[in-house]
């Protein structure tokens, strides 16, 4: 479905944010012709399919930030090279190779889909190109497959699941059915959830999966109605999430079996689902209502630029790295080292990276009310992901 027809607002990730850096780079300090060329940033993102609005959101936020910096980072123009990943893992190797070897991007960013991320980061590791994963949560990227040049500005799937499981235990929920798309992101978000939920005394009665990216939910919803769990924990995102929430409400389940999930379930689809989403509770590293100056400023700027409010943010990483090398992207080791140490205040709250390069960040409980994800409380502050198997962590 084209984005224009979904009516979905955009969730937003800024991989390129931070205080202006351009004024510090003196023209005569730039050594060579290469420095006069624009920095090429590759964006491997879904611009079609069920995740299209997520890809658009990430792109918009990056463009907005760049515009706010006068089109330059550390004194250098930035050129975005976009490729539609179609959220399709089989196409990811070829597309990433095109960006790295064909377009010779200086920095690689994206994707949304965990399967695409696995292929993308494999190439990134081999090529050594500094890479920022701006959404996809595949656990391995910042666990056993961590790498010195691969960073994540978003979250790991397991991390969000762990935080949501905690919130559900805190809410007194004793049993639940899980339901998700059958691919890495859904499975890992369920595994994280299962961990904290069961350790907190909860019982997972049944795990239901449907193939990605199907939106045929009727049989599963009938099964949930017959099982009657105390709650459902569910990961869907983008167009699929909007359909799931509407179908869940149409099946009259929301009143008796509250729907919970990672915040991707409701982010970007708040307006599209309207009252059907009332009462859906989610946990995420961002909430519209995070009360800090960075969030207020960013929301205002985004609203002014696009006429809508953003939903989720990933912030400020690349700019930190670029400042450290004065825009000289050829200094990869220094750029990577600076990004690894990045620490700043962001719209989502304090942001820093673990030794495996995954954000350590707050997680918030939100409840959807008439098209708004209303902040309920902070579930956990400065919550790290596991670094299991990461050699950088040793």
366, 284 in Cβ contact below 8 A? yes
Q: Using CB under 6 A, pick the residue from 60, 72, 113, 166 that binds ligand PHB.
A: 113
375, 322 in Cβ contact below 8 A? no
Residue number with CB closer to ligand PHB (72 or 348): 348
Q: Using CB under 6 A, pick the residue from 162, 177, 185, 339 that binds ligand PHB.
A: 185
Residue number with CB closer to ligand PHB (60 or 113): 113
Query: Does residue 237 touch ligand PHB according to CB under 6 A?
Result: yes
Query: Does residue 49 touch ligand PHB according to CB under 6 A?
Result: no
Give me the 71-110 binding string for ligand PHB, x by CB under 6 A, dash otherwise: ----------------------------------------
Whole-angstrom CA distances from 54 to 10, 11, 78, 82, 130 are: 7, 6, 22, 14, 22
Number of Cβ within 10 Å of residue 174's Cβ equals 14
Structure tokens at 348: 């989502």
By residue count, the chain amounts to 394
Query: Does residue 290 touch ligand PHB according to CB under 6 A?
Result: no
Query: Does residue 58 touch ligand PHB according to CB under 6 A?
Result: no
Least distance to ligand PHB, CB of residue 85, Å: 11
Q: Which helix (H) or strand (E) holds 305?
A: helix 293-306
Q: Using CB under 6 A, pick the residue from 114, 180, 196, 346 that binds ligand PHB.
A: 114
Query: Does residue 44 touch ligand PHB according to CB under 6 A?
Result: no
Least distance to ligand PHB, CB of residue 118, Å: 10
SS3 227: helix
Q: Using CB under 6 A, pick the residue from 264, 286, 313, 364 that binds ligand PHB.
A: 264
Burial 98-126 (b: 16+ CB within 10 A, else e): ebbeeeebbbbbbbbbbbbbbbbbbbbbe
Partner residues linked to 360 by β-bridges: 352
For the chain, how big is the Rg over CA atoms in Å? 20
**Range 327-356, binding ligand PHB (CB under 6 A):** none
Whole-angstrom CA distances from 201 to 81, 169, 176, 207, 241 are: 48, 8, 12, 17, 28
Least distance to ligand PHB, CB of residue 136, Å: 4
Query: Does residue 136 touch ligand PHB according to CB under 6 A?
Result: yes
259, 234 in Cβ contact below 8 A? yes
Residue number with CB closer to ligand PHB (133 or 380): 133
Residue number with CB closer to ligand PHB (112 or 315): 112
Residues lying near ligand PHB in the complex (CB under 6 A): 112-114, 136-138, 157, 185, 237, 264
């Amino acid at each position: 479905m084209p984005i224009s027809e979904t009516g979905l607002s955009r969730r937003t990730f800024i991989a390129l944010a931070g205080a202006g850096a351009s004024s510090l780079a003196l023209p005569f300090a730039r050594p060579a012709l290469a420095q006069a060329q624009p920095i090429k940033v590759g964006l491997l993102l879904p611009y079609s399919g069920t995740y299209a609005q997520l890809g658009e959101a990430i792109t918009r936020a990056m463009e907005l930030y760049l515009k706010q910096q006068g089109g330059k980072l550390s004194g250098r123009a930035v050129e975005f090279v976009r490729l539609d990943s179609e959220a399709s893992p089989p196409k990811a190797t070829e597309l990433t190779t095109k960006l790295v070897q064909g377009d010779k991007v200086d920095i690689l960013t994206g994707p949304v889909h965990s399967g695409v991320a696995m292929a993308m980061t494999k190439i990134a590791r081999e090529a050594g190109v500094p890479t920022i994963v701006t959404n996809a949560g595949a656990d391995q990227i910042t666990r056993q497959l961590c790498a010195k040049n691969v960073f994540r500005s978003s979250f790991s799937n397991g991390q969000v699941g762990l935080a949501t499981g905690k919130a559900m235990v805190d809410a007194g929920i004793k049993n639940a059915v899980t339901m998700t798309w059958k691919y890495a992101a859904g499975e890992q978000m369920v595994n994280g959830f299962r961990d904290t939920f069961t350790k907190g005394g909860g019982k997972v009665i049944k795990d239901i999966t449907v193939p990605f990216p199907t939106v045929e939910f009727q049989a599963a919803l009938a099964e949930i109605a017959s099982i009657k769990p105390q709650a459902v924990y569910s990961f869907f995102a983008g167009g699929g999430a909007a359909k799931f929430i509407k179908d869940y409400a149409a099946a009259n389940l929301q009143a008796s079996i509250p729907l919970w999930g990672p915040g991707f379930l409701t982010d970007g689809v708040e307006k599209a689902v309207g009252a059907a989403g009332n009462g859906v509770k989610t946990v995420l590293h961002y909430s519209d209502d995070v009360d800090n100056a960075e969030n207020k400023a960013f929301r205002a700027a985004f609203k002014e630029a696009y006429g809508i409010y953003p939903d989720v943010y990933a912030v400020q990483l690349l700019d930190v790295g670029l400042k450290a090398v004065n825009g000289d992207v050829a200094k990869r080791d220094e750029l990577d080292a600076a990004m690894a140490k990045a620490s700043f205040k962001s719209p989502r709250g304090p942001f820093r990276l673990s030794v495996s390069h995954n954000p350590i960040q707050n997680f918030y409980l939100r409840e959807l009310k008439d098209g708004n994800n209303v902040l309920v409380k902070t579930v956990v502050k400065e919550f790290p992901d596991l670094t299991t198997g990461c050699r950088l962590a040793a």
